[in-house]
A and B are shown apart, each in its own frame.
Chain A
Amino acid sequence: MPKAMRDVFGETLCELKENPKIVVLDADLGSATRALKFKDVCPERFLDIGIAEQNMVGIAAGLSTCDMIPIATTFSVFITGRAFDQVRNTVAHGNLNVKLVGTHNGVCVGYDGATHEAVEDIALMRSVPNMVVLVPADAKETEMAIKAAIAYKGPVYLRISRIAVPDIHGDDYKFCIGKGEVLRDGTDVAIISTGIMTSRAIEAAEILLKDGVHASVVNICSIKPIDRKLIVEVAKRTKRIVTVEEHTIIGGLGSAVSEILSVEWPVPIRFVGINDEFGTSGAPEVLLEKYKLTAKDIIRAVKSF
């Protein structure tokens, strides 16, 4: 059984306790985000700020200027939305060494419904200067992205899903901020995907192969900075791109890919993502169907060329 990505987040935090600069901040959601696991092993560097995300981000900013590495955690909708001004004006403008982690995002939040399902967080964070945006695709990449974020000096937004997805990466996987990764090589089309959708992109590619369609699958965890070189390379090779994300198609991965290719190597692009609407309540699998975020929908996009 693959691990839920939020569980990996909690476990990785515990591992990081050996670094005396790490401080974990929670806004009364630590049981859901798994940040509370850090409290168990390192209570002296765990701060429960209460239901006050703006204050939490401000406190994190202050800590960072005194040589600590604060990790501010809550649901994506709150850390990127409720505290947007604090993130923009204090953390990003100051280029502060603050890590912002949202563990609940996209429609896979599920039963909590639209108010808790960030579908625009990547767009918000990507639009802010200095901000690095990382969206891991499985358990191993979650662990590596967290470690890379800590090693990097500057503001980072980490979008970590609450759910489990099939494991894509082996134990020897190395992640590097700014680098994308080719998971499958094909010349008919390239599926460029991020987060939990990458395992669905692989599933789609496998089904397409049976129909004689050879699809590349490119996983982009580092949405900002993005691997421009790799994206241009695959566009040149495949001449058709499908982008896939559990996020609004406005301003996310699809937009990032389009911004590059429209200038450097224009090719037709199809976008699999949430089509400018809010989420709703339901089981994650039901919602992924409703919002057309399944392998079937990726295949349909590929066949629309």
Chain B
Amino acid sequence: MDIIELKKIAKRIRLSTMQMLEKAGTGHPGGALSMVEILVTLYFEKMNIKPHEPNWKYRDRLILSKGHGNPSYYAVLSEKGYFAKEKLSTLRQYGSILQGHPDMNTTPGVDMSTGSLGQGLSIGCGMAIAAHMQHEKFRVYVIVGDGELDEGQNWEALMSAVKYKLDNLTLIVDYNKLQINGSNEDVMGIAPLDKKFAAFNWNVIRINGHDFRDIRNALEMACSTSGRPTVIIADTIKGKGISFMENNPIWHGKIPDRVQFEKIFRELEGDI
């Protein structure tokens, strides 16, 4: 797809994301905004999917391990046609198909329920192993947050992906450097991520996570790597696209006030 077209979609997704959060009055803007380009490239260019047949057996799978980032994920699924756009305004409300964290049993297109952090990569390994056992070609994508890498289960899963030679598994780290309590490095210290993944024998690619060409090329390289899994460390900006939210950890799980939302929509609508 044309990069200009992808950029237009990303802008629409950011606008939808903030509209959803305004309506819900609760949720996580920062990490939803940092992974927009990654989601758009995957769903609009890369993944082999059939939105009208969400459970198609041979589809590529995506696990949003950082489940709290789901507003932009839901916006992308809706834009792809998995469900009606009107549903977006029901985010987090009683009876909604759009739960506070992704729920595979209520939302068409969600391949795995997540929310308790650090579990997505193990699940992705299981799906990728199934593909190998069944001699099927589908690919598995897992998006993790950087703060989520504090969870030890990730590092167990990193080893198993190498053991089982899961070249059909791609891990994408939304590396926006911030988590609830502040910077990753102040909270626990996950750097140097590239060296750590390399030491676990993964194929490591580092990119600008807001650059569509970078994302596209990295995903291509992941596909053409055989015998081992690939991790794409995507340098991103938490709160990307909204001037006063960028790189500020307070917007991890905080909802702007009315005046701030007016500014947000002026910025985002002005873009479109």
Asked if B119 and A59 sit within 8 Å, CB to CB, the answer is: no
Question: In the complex the two chains form, is A89's CB within 8 Å of B125's CB?
Answer: no
- A55 with B122: in contact, given A66-B134, A67-B57 (CB under 8 Å)? yes
Q: Are A94 and B104 interface neighbours, CB within 8 A?
A: yes
Interface size class of A (residues with CB under 8 A): 20 to 34
Within B123-172, the residues touching A (CB, 8 Å) are 123-131, 133-134, 140, 152-153, 156-157, 159-160, 164
CB closest chain-B residue, reference A23? B133
List A contacts of B127 (CB < 8 A).
62-63, 65-66
Q: Tell me the number of A-to-B contacts counted with CB atoms below 8 Å.
A: 104
B260, CB-defined interface residue at 8 Å: no
Given A44-B133, A45-B133, A50-B159: A58 in contact with B113 (beta carbons within 8 A): no
Q: How far is the CA of A65 from the CA of B105 in the complex (A)?
A: 12
Partner of B129, one of A47, A89, A90: A47
Q: Is B93 an interface residue (CB 8 A)?
A: no
The answer to whether B123 and A59 touch across the interface, beta carbons within 8 angstroms, is yes
The yes or no answer to A49 lying at the interface (CB within 8 A) is yes
User: Is B224 positioned at the interface, with any CB of A under 8 Å from its CB?
Assistant: no
A30 at the interface (CB under 8 A from B): no
Q: State which of B128, B130, B164 has its C-beta within 8 Å of the C-beta of A67.
A: B130
Q: A52-B156, A86-B119 are in contact. Are A66 and B130 (CB under 8 A)?
A: yes
Q: Say whether A85 faces chain B, with CB atoms less than 8 Å apart.
A: yes
Given contacts A67-B57, A70-B126, contact A58 B159 (CB under 8 A): no
Is the pair B126, A52 in contact by a Cβ cutoff of 8 Å? no
Q: Does A93 contact B (CB under 8 A)?
A: yes
* Contact indicator B113/A94 (Cβ below 8 Å): yes
Query: Which residues of chain A are within 8 angstroms of B115 by Cβ–Cβ distance?
Result: 89
Of B125, B126, B130, most A-chain CB atoms within 10 Å? B126
Minimum CB–CB distance from A190 to chain B (whole Å) comes to 39
Can you name 8 extra interface pairs (CB under 8 A) apart from A52-B159, A58-B119? A49-B156, A50-B159, A58-B125, A61-B122, A62-B128, A65-B112, A68-B133, A89-B119
